[in-house]
Amino acid sequence: MRQSLRGFTLVEILIVVILLAILAAIVLPQYRDVTNQANRTNLKENLSKIRAIIQVYRNQHSGYPAGDQFAAQMTQSTDFGGGVADVPDATHIYGPYLEQMPTNPVTNSAVIRVATGAAERFTAPDTDGGWWYNQVTGEFYPDLTDSHVDDDGMPYNQY
């Protein structure tokens, strides 16, 4: 007597595979943009934090951080004139304002392009960079080309 083997037919397996493909087609596009959304959120948070810290620095030092010393003045102790020291002492009583200079999450660069004139305004660069900072006005922007845009079509460099 022959025993009957129970198993799945080829048609049943094909139906399951097709259903999984349909589910993947529905779900995967929603996760494709997650990295961009995370970078955009991180970029906005970094900008908000750095811009607020620039104002704190301005209030404590009666001026904005110097462009060539920006990262050092943000991450080390400073005196009233903006001089930096690795550790606080009797004259270096301000800061540090940041543990480390954050990188631009879109480019992973912390390089700062510095503007030195009050009339200089941010213009999109030819290639992506880190940050743009005007040491006279205190303006701070992501140094990105216009190709990086959010869902509303606004370039990240205008945040």
Residue-wise pLDDT tens digits, 125-148: 999 999 999 999 999 999 999 999
**Number of domains, the chain:** 1
Residue 13 lies in a domain: no
Is the pLDDT higher at 7 or at 154?
A: 154
Is the pLDDT higher at 155 or at 5?
A: 155
Residue 30 lies in a domain: no
Residue 20 lies in a domain: no
Residue 7 lies in a domain: no
| Structural domain harbouring 92 | 35-158
Predicted pLDDT at 35: 83
Residue 22 lies in a domain: no
Compute the distance between CA of residue 6 and CA of residue 4 in angstroms, rounded to an integer: 6
Residue 6 lies in a domain: no
pTM above 0.85, yes or no: no
Residue 14 lies in a domain: no
pLDDT in tens, 58-114: 999 999 999 999 999 999 999 999 999 999 999 999 999 999 999 999 999 999 999
Strands (E), 3-123: 77-78, 84-85, 112-115
- Kindly give the interhelix angle for 34-61 and 10-32, rounded to the nearest 10 degrees: 20
